[in-house]
């Protein structure tokens, strides 16, 4: 199929992109890698009147780490981020998440920030971002603001962005050494959408978990943080029973929807299994006993 007609605009900078969004109004959409938006347009499920292409804006292309964490610009391609030394050092859970998304050619085109801003609750990158924590930088006509990863995702394909704002980049928080991560997803085939996924982080100090983050994808309308599971982990020594308990807590209380790939009950079961297995891996990486 061919998309409905639209007007194409190319922004040379973040400021220009924000200005174009303001000028073109509600019928304008940001075009980054286009790996979600363009198929939706070709299937005629989306019909924006205007596209503002930000992939030629040099100030949006950067990837870099500082003490606060890893910054990823809105035009940075997934494959570039996935293989970047700074990502592997500062946000390996994000690298794992990216490597599970789509095929390599798709990742050469798609952007990390585009996936996060698209806010598909079963997608990999939003869950990894939320698990590690960080901030979204949004820019609109009135300037820029920071939005916490905790507050950014509001519902299915819905975020805290205001009309006229674009995401110019995300910063993923740094975790100290002694941190391990686990990212696991379950999909029927390698290339199909995940039915459920788990992104977890644990920090182990002197044989005890002192910080943990557990996020589930594909089970709710947003990537879902599981504080009850984290509470079981923090203060405990890493171990199979603790992980099983945390996984149980992570899956308790969620009410995933059913579709042709699996019922809600099956997704819940997967959430428990994936969380347990991801925690086991994370603890090994953190250097703790399992």
Partner 1 sequence: MSGSSGPSVGAPPAARYVGQSVARLEDPRLLTGRGRYVANLVPPGTGHVAFARSTRARARITRLDIKAAAALDGVWAVWTAADLNPDVGSLRGSLVLPGGGGPPDHLLADGDVRFVGDPVAVVVAVSPAVVADALELVEIDYEDQTPVLDFETAAENNNLVHPELGSNVSNSAEAWPTTVDEAMAGADTSVRAVITQNRQANAPMETRGLLAEWRAFDETLDVWISTQSPHETALAAARTLGLAVHQVRVHMGDVGGGFGQKVFLGREEFAVMVCARRLGRPMRWIEGRSENLTSSNHARRDRADVSLGATADGRFVAATIDHLEDNGAYSNGGNPGNGRMACVHLPGPYRIGSVGWRTATVYTNTCGRGAYRGPWQIESVARELIVDMLARRLEIDPLELRRRNVLRAEDLPHNTATGLTYDRISPAECLDQVAEMIDYDGFRATQREVRATVGASLAPGERAPGAGSLPGIGVAVYVEPSAIGFGALATEGATVRVEPDGSVNVYAGTGSHGQSLETTIAQIVADALGVHPGNVRFHQGHGTPYGFGTGGSRSAVIAGGAARAASAGVRAKLLRIAAELMEASPDDLDLGGGAVAVRGTPARRMTVAEVAQAAYMRPDALPDDISGGLEHTARFKAPPVTYSNAAHACTCEVDIATGEVRLLRYAVSEDCGAMINPMVVKGQIAGGVAQGIGGALLEEVSYDADGNPLTTTFADYLVPSAAEVPSFEFGHIVTLSDSPGGHKGTGEGGAIGSVPCVFNAVADALAPLGVRLTDGPLSPHRIRTAILEAAG
Q: Which residues bind partner 1 (CB under 8 A)?
A: 1-5, 43-44, 186, 188-193, 195, 260-263, 266, 269-270, 273
Shortest distance, position 181 Cβ to partner 1, whole Å = 21
Q: Which residues contact 224 (CB under 8 A, 6 or more apart)?
A: 121, 215, 216, 217, 254
Nearer to partner 1, 115 or 168 (CB): 115
Q: What is the 3-state secondary structure (H, E, C) of 154-177?
A: EECCEECCCCCCEEEEEEEECCCC
CB 13 within 8 A of CB 19: no
CB of 186 to partner 1, least distance (A): 6
State the nearest-atom distance from the C-beta of 268 to partner 1, in Å. 11
Distance CA 86, CA 65 (A): 6
- The CA distance from 9 to 69, in Å, is 32
Judged by CB, which is closer to partner 1: 43, or 83?
A: 43
Element (H, E) at 39: helix 37-42
In order, the DSSP letters of 214-277 are: EEEESSSSS-EE-HHHHHHHTTSPP-HHHHHHHHHHHHTT--PPPBTTB-HHHHHHHHHHHHHH
If the CB atoms of residues 118 and 225 are measured against partner 1, the closer one turns out to be 118
Shortest distance, position 30 Cβ to partner 1, whole Å: 22
Least separation, in Å, of the C-beta of 267 and partner 1?
A: 9
Judged by beta carbon, residue 176 or residue 190, the one nearer partner 1 is 190
**Smaller CB separation from partner 1, 42 or 66:** 42
Cβ distance to partner 1 smaller for residue 136 or 247:
247
How far is the C-alpha of 238 from the C-alpha of 115, rounded, in Å? Answer: 32
Q: What single-letter DSSP state applies at residue 204?
A: E
Please provide the DSSP assignment of 72-95 as one string: EETT-BHHHHHH-HHHHHH-HHHH
Beta carbon nearer to partner 1, 190 or 206: 190
Nearer to partner 1, 96 or 165 (CB): 96
Query: How many Cβ atoms from other residues are within 10 Å of residue 270's Cβ?
Result: 24
How far apart (Å, rounded) are the C-alpha atoms in residues 279 and 290?
Answer: 10
Question: CB of 191: closest distance to partner 1 in angstroms?
Answer: 6
Smallest gap from Cβ 248 to partner 1, in A, equals 11
Closest approach, Cβ 157 to partner 1, in A, equals: 15
Cα separation values, 48 from 4, 5, 51, 127, 215, Å: 8, 9, 7, 27, 32
């Amino acid at each position: 199929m061919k998309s409905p007609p639209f007007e194409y605009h190319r922004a040379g900078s973040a400021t220009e992109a924000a200005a174009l969004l303001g000028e073109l109004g509600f019928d304008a959409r940001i075009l980054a890698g286009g790996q979600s938006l363009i198929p939706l347009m070709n299937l005629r499920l989306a019909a924006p009147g205007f596209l503002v292409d930000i992939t030629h804006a040099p100030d949006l292309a950067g990837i870099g780490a500082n003490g606060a964490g890893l910054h990823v610009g809105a035009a940075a391609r997934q494959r570039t981020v996935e293989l970047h030394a700074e990502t592997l050092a500062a946000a390996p859970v994000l690298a794992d998440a990216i490597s599970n998304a789509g095929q390599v050619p798709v990742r050469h085109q798609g952007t990390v920030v585009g996936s996060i801003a698209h806010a598909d609750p079963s997608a990999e990158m939003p869950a990894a971002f939320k698990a590690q924590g960080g901030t979204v930088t949004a820019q609109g006509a009135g300037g820029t603001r920071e939005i916490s990863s905790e507050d950014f995702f509001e519902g299915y394909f819905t975020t805290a962005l205001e009309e006229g704002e674009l995401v110019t980049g995300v910063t993923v928080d740094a975790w100290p050494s002694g941190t391990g991560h686990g990212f696991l997803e379950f999909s029927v085939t390698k290339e199909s959408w995940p039915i459920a996924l788990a992104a977890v982080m644990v920090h182990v100090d002197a044989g005890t978990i002192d910080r943990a983050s557990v996020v589930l994808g594909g089970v709710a309308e947003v990537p879902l943080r599981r504080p009850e599971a984290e509470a079981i982990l923090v203060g405990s020594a890493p171990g199979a029973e603790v992980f099983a308990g945390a996984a149980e807590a992570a899956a308790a209380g969620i009410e995933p929807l059913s579709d042709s790939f699996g019922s809600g009950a099956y997704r819940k079961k997967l959430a428990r299994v994936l969380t347990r297995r991801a925690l086991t891996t994370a603890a090994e990486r953190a250097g703790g006993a399992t």
